[in-house]
Amino acid sequence: MTSESTHEERLRETLDLLAAQVQPAPDAYRRARAEWKRRERRRRLTLASLMVVVFTLAVLIGLWALNRTPDGPPGGETTGRYHHSSWHSP
């Protein structure tokens, strides 16, 4: 055997002994699961809030852009087929 494999074996034995001495808390799983659920709820709430903000901003920007367009026909024409008197003529 080489000294490297002997060193590995001793390290493994030491870690195995150390792991055998560790006793998990009786409610460790329940606490970890509750913490995970809390973080998941918080993540979803944050994502939903961000989606609402982005959607609201998009709608407001769209309404603002539509409100800035000039009233009337495109090109600013006020004569010809777009004239208001021709709307009532047959």
Domain count, the chain: 1
What is the DSSP-derived secondary structure letter of residue 83?
Answer: S
**What is the residue range of 30's domain?**
12-62
Residue 3 lies in a domain: no
Answer yes or no: are the C-beta atoms of 82 and 73 closer than 8 Å: yes
Comparing 39 with 5, the larger pLDDT belongs to 39
Give pTM, 2 decimals: 0.50
Over residues 13-35, the pLDDT tens digits come to 999 999 999 888 889 999 999 99
Residue 29 lies in a domain: yes
Residue 88 lies in a domain: no
pLDDT at 74 > cutoff 90: no
pLDDT score at 60 = 97
Task: Report the alpha-carbon distance of residue 13 to residue 20 in Å, rounded.
Answer: 11
Residue 58 lies in a domain: yes
